[in-house]
Amino acid sequence: MEKLKEGGRQIAAGGAAGFVEVCLMHPLDVVKTRLQLGPTHFSSLSDVFKKTYKREGIGGFYKGIFPPILAETPKRATKFFTFEQYKLLFASPSIPMSVTLSFAGLMSGCTEAIVICPFEVVKVRLQSEHSVQLKEQKSTWAVAREIIRNQGLGTNGIYRGLTSTLGRHGVWNMFYFGLYHNLKPLIPTTNQSSDVGYRLLLGFTAGTIASVANIPFDVVKSRIQGPQPASGRKYVGCWQSIKLVKHEEGFLALYRGLVPKVMRLGPGGAIMLIIYETVYDFLKKGF
């Protein structure tokens, strides 16, 4: 019974953390995705902000928010819950705890990716439509049905870009959880306010480093899941797309959207961990 309650606390705290983070940081995700789709429509960070606001108004920055809101509770709940389970599974006297924490993060990210991939496909499709107003867009459900009807349920359809999604979430969680939990014991516990400040700084640092580490997978995920040329699919697989982007646009093109990504997931990483730990502690005391 206690294990069931513990799992419930982890799932509830993870869902709460994800919901708050996506509501606060989604506009930066729109900017990041549009930059990653290529230089055809937007040349720089400021260009995305200016053109999006001019053409679509403030609502343009919230395109594609419904799929993440639908997904955040299962996504973040999966992230935090499976991290705790993998941590127990891989714990061994013969394996350094630092390795166990990082590997548990990697596996939790891969599990999360399987849950989130269909939502990401729909979200990217909605975010890439920069020529229509938010109120004129098809609904999330209509886009999902259209993808399934035309491309199916597999990796050519609603699970398109699964490999790059596994890479994006696996690498991010490996660095995020590995850094945070390995460095957290070093935080000086002088008083509660300073402890929160240190944890925010540590969460921000872990989220930032994780974002830098995984962004090539993020870029090709956007290319694979986004609009393709009328002549046929140009970006097909993860490694094929990495090689193609590097060949055609140079190595730095694999880091397109890094600034808005860090602007989102640096603070977002800190917000998630603080909310998760706060909600979890509250539930542990009350339930």
pLDDT on residue 192: 67
Query: Confidence band (pLDDT; 50, 70, 90) for 244?
Result: very high
Q: Where are the domains of the chain?
A: 2-286
State the fold for domain 2-286. Answer: Mitochondrial carrier fold (1.50.40)
Per-residue confidence band for 1, with pLDDT thresholds at 50, 70 and 90: low
Q: What is the pLDDT of residue 271?
A: 83
Euclidean distance between CA atoms 8 and 22, whole angstroms: 21
Q: Would the pLDDT of 3 be above 80?
A: no
pLDDT at 27 over 90: no
pLDDT beyond 70 at 24: yes
The per-residue pLDDT for 74 is: 75
The answer to whether the predicted template modeling score (pTM) of the entire model surpasses 0.85 is: no
- In our burial notation (b when 16+ CB lie closer than 10 A, e otherwise), range 29-46 reads bbbbbbbbbbeeebeebe
Q: What is the model's pLDDT at position 173?
A: 95
Phi/psi class of residue 247: alpha, beta or left (left: φ > 0; alpha: ψ in -120 to 50)? alpha
Q: What is the pLDDT of residue 177?
A: 93
CA distances from 178 to 175, 234, 267 (A): 5, 35, 17
Q: Which residues contact 125 (CB under 8 A, 6 or more apart)?
A: 64, 143, 147, 225, 226, 227
Q: What is the pLDDT of the chain when averaged over all its residues? A: 87
d(CA 95, CA 114) in angstroms, rounded, equals 27
Residue 49 in this model has a pLDDT that exceeds 90: no
CB atoms within 10 A of CB 159: 20
Q: What percent of the chain has a predicted confidence (pLDDT) above 90?
A: 39
Distances (CA, A) of 71 to 15, 167, 282: 9, 19, 24
Question: What is the torsion angle, in degrees rounded to the nearest 10, for the CA atoms of residue 81, residue 84, residue 90 and residue 93?
Answer: -170
**Per-residue model confidence (pLDDT) at position 79:** 83
The model's pLDDT over 139-170, given as tens digits with 9 standing for 90+, comes to: 888 999 999 999 999 999 999 999 999 999 99
pLDDT at 62: 86
Q: Cα(198)–Cα(193) distance, rounded to whole angstroms? A: 9
Q: In Å, what is the CA distance from 83 to each residue of 71, 111, 171, 197, 261?
A: 18, 9, 13, 24, 23
170-195 residue pLDDT tens: 999 999 999 999 998 887 777 666 77
HEC string of 205-249 equals HHHHHHHHHHHHHHHHHHHHHCCCCCCCCCCCCHHHHHHHHHHHH
- The answer to whether residue 61 scores a pLDDT higher than 90 is no
How many whole angstroms separate alpha carbon 2 and alpha carbon 163? 36
Write down the pLDDT at residue 258: 92
Best-predicted range by mean pLDDT among 41-55, 126-140, 213-227? 213-227
Span 211-229, mean pLDDT? 93
Binning pLDDT at 50, 70 and 90, where does residue 133 land?
Answer: confident
pLDDT at residue number 193: 66
